[in-house]
Amino acid sequence: MEVKTSNVAKRLGVSPKTVQRWVKKYNIPCQKNEAGHYVFDAETITLLEQIKFEHGATLEEEEVGLEEEHGLCPDTFLSTYIQPHLDKFTARLHRVERQLEQKADEVVSFQLLQHRKEIEELHAYIRQLEQRLALLEEQQKQADDAPKRPKRRGVSRIMGMFV
Q: What is the pLDDT of residue 156?
A: 64
By the 8 A CB rule, do 84 and 42 touch?
Answer: no
- What is the rounded average pLDDT of the residues 108-123? 95
Q: Kindly state the percentage of the chain with pLDDT values over 70.
A: 77
Per-residue confidence at 29, pLDDT binned at 50, 70, 90? Answer: confident
Is a pLDDT exceeding 50 seen at residue 57? no
pLDDT digits over 102-115, tens only? 999 999 999 999 99
Where does the pLDDT of residue 25 fall: very low under 50, low under 70, confident under 90, or very high at 90 and above? confident
pTM above 0.75, yes or no: no
SS (H, E, C) the chain: CCEEHHHHHHHHCCCHHHHHHHHHHCCCCCEECCCCCEEECHHHHHHHHHHHHHHCCHHHHHHHHHHHHHCCCHHHHHHHHHHHHHHHHHHHHHHHHHHHHHHHHHHHHHHHHHHHHHHHHHHHHHHHHHHHHHHHHHHHHHHHHCCCCCCCCCHHHHHHHHC
